[in-house]
Structure 1
Amino acid sequence: MKLGYQTNTWGGVVGHPGGVTSVKDAYYKANGSTEEALRDIASAGYQGVELFDGNVMEYEDKPEELKNLLKSLNLQLVGVYTGANFIYPDILEDEFAKIEKVARFSASLGAEHLVYGGGAVPARALTDEDFRRLADALKRGDEVAKKYNLTASYHPHLGTCVETPEQLDKIMSMTQIALCPDTAHIEAGGGDPVAVIQKYVDRIQYVHFKDWGNGTFQPLGEGHQDFKAMLAALQAANYDGWITIELDSYSNPLKGAEISKQYLKEQLGLG
């Protein structure tokens, strides 16, 4: 298995302000220096990196700059994370205009994975129609990814309409898209990440490891998640893809990456 790291620890997660009034510009962003993040991730010993769509699109007019930086650091762009509301028909075309642009550009940079988060949490109660619309949108998102030779995965996430185990089972039963389990978000939503991986291992093409303890996200080994059991479930299914480590915030981003890397090596025998 190959190990990557998300850049979201550097500066924290924000949204592009243009997305407030123009849905086509509603990107995720890590609010720090992408170059600093990549250099730290490489120095910590990771092989790959995942970026938010907004951080990738910062290089839309200067792709060679990002390609050369990745090459100089011996890093691969593993995946790009994007998302949308998905359940509102009136804005869906603008959301997919953004997604198509992101997919095309990410593929040109050598990315392998396109990760989807989303499904809005409306002010009213969620309905079966919301899940049907999300399922239809994820089918379309899968097709967009395949068009550019990317592997699409759905990522359950707090703050979306797929937080709980029941919601995850519902959307998985309505779709064929691959699952990207984010182990901490699954637990924070009331689920068991080991059980989720075991249940859906045949649909897992990409994995996010993130620890969880005391109600917060933690570097690997500093929470209480059973990564050994998760890894055993993946290995039993002959999974040999990427595992990307995430940590939404940490006072010293490089140190957080190093703590997780040491855990991966010493406790899991990876890297």
Structure 2
Amino acid sequence: MKLGYQTNTWGGVVGHPAGVTSVKDLYYLANGSTEQAARDIASAGYKGIELFDGNLAEYENRQDDFRRMMADLQLTLVGVYTGANFIFRDILDEEFAKIEKVAKLASEFGAEHLVFGGGAVRSGGIQESDYEVLAQSLTRAEEIAVKYGLTPSYHPHLGTCVQAPEQLDKLMSMTTIALCPDTAHIEAGGGNPVTVMRKYIDRIKYVHFKDYKDGQFLPLGEGDQNFAEMLSILQGANYDGWVLVELDSHQDPLQAAQISKSYLQDTLNLA
């Protein structure tokens, strides 16, 4: 397995302000320096990075700068994370205009994975029909990713209509898209990440490891997640892809990356 790290720890997670009034511009952003994040991730011993779609878009007209940085640091662009509401038919074309742009750019930069999050929760609560539209939207998203040579996955997330285990089961039964389990979000949503990974191992092509305890997202080894069992499930399925460590924020991003790397190396025997 190969080890990568998300850049979102550097600056935390925000959204592009233009998205408030323009759906096509609604990107995720890590509100820090991508260059600093990449340097720190490489120095901590990881071989790849994942970016939010908005941070990737910042290099749309500076592609040589990005490629030079990645070559100098000997890093691989593992994946790009994007998202959408996915349930409101009137804005789907605008959302997919953004997704198509992100997929094209990710492909040009050599990314392997395109990860989708989303499934909005209405002000009046979730409607059963929302899952049907979400499933249809993810099929469309999957087709776009494949068109650009990317591996698509769905990432369950708190604050969406797919955060609880029964919600994930419902969506998975309605789609063919691969699952990118974020282990901490699964637990925070009331699920057991070991159970989820065992149940859907045949649909896992990419993994986000993040620890969790008492309502907090933590570096690996500082929470209660059973990563050894998760790793055993992956190994039993001959999984040889990327394990991507992700942490939404930390007072010392480099230290957090180092803590997780030491845990992966010393406890799980992943170099």
Please classify the TM superposition score into its range, dividing by the shorter chain length.
Answer: over 0.9
Q: How many residues align structurally? A: 271
The gaps in structure 2 that reach 5 residues or longer are none
1:4 match: 4
Q: Which residue identity does 2:211 align to in structure 1?
A: D
- CA distance in 1: counterparts of 2:242 and 2:178, whole angstroms: 14
Identity of aligned residues (%): 66
2:201 match: 201
Aligned partner of residue 267 in structure 2, secondary structure? helix
Q: Deviations over 1:193-240 (max 9, x none)?
A: 000000000000000000001210000000010000000001001110
Aligned partner of residue 87 in structure 2, secondary structure? coil
1:32 match: 32
1:60 is aligned to 2:60: yes
- CA distance in 2: counterparts of 1:240 and 1:259, whole angstroms: 23
Aligned partner of residue 80 in structure 1, secondary structure? strand
2:14 match: 14
- With normalisation by structure 2, the TM-score equals 1.00
Q: Deviations over 1:67-126 (max 9, x none)?
A: 110110000000000000000011100000000000000000000000000000111121
- CA distance in 1: counterparts of 2:161 and 2:34, whole angstroms: 29
Aligned partner of residue 50 in structure 2, secondary structure? strand
1:162 is aligned to 2:194: no
- CA distance in 2: counterparts of 1:68 and 1:82, whole angstroms: 24
- With normalisation by structure 1, the TM-score equals 1.00
1:100 match: 100
Q: Which residue identity does 1:170 align to in structure 2?
A: K
Q: Which residue identity does 2:205 align to in structure 1?
A: Q
2:145 match: 145
- CA distance in 1: counterparts of 2:121 and 2:127, whole angstroms: 10
- CA distance in 2: counterparts of 1:266 and 1:130, whole angstroms: 44
1:241 is aligned to 2:250: no
Write the mapping of 1:95-134 to structure 2, written as runs, cut at 5 A: 95-134=95-134
Q: Which residue identity does 1:107 align to in structure 2?
A: S
- CA distance in 2: counterparts of 1:150 and 1:261, whole angstroms: 26
Shift of 1:127: 1.7
2:224 match: 224
Q: Which residue identity does 1:129 align to in structure 2?
A: S
1:210 is aligned to 2:216: no
- CA distance in 2: counterparts of 1:88 and 1:48, whole angstroms: 34
2:85 match: 85
1:177 match: 177
Q: Which residue identity does 2:135 align to in structure 1?
A: A
- CA distance in 1: counterparts of 2:31 and 2:114, whole angstroms: 20
Aligned partner of residue 50 in structure 1, secondary structure? strand
- CA distance in 2: counterparts of 1:26 and 1:120, whole angstroms: 14
RMSD (CA atoms): 0.4
Q: Deviations over 1:44-87 (max 9, x none)?
A: 00000000000000000111110110110000000000000000
- CA distance in 2: counterparts of 1:3 and 1:71, whole angstroms: 17
Aligned partner of residue 268 in structure 1, secondary structure? coil
Q: Which residue identity does 1:6 align to in structure 2?
A: Q
Q: Which residue identity does 1:213 align to in structure 2?
A: K
Q: Which residue identity does 1:120 align to in structure 2?
A: A
The gaps in structure 1 that reach 5 residues or longer are none
- CA distance in 1: counterparts of 2:86 and 2:215, whole angstroms: 28
- CA distance in 1: counterparts of 2:200 and 2:71, whole angstroms: 34
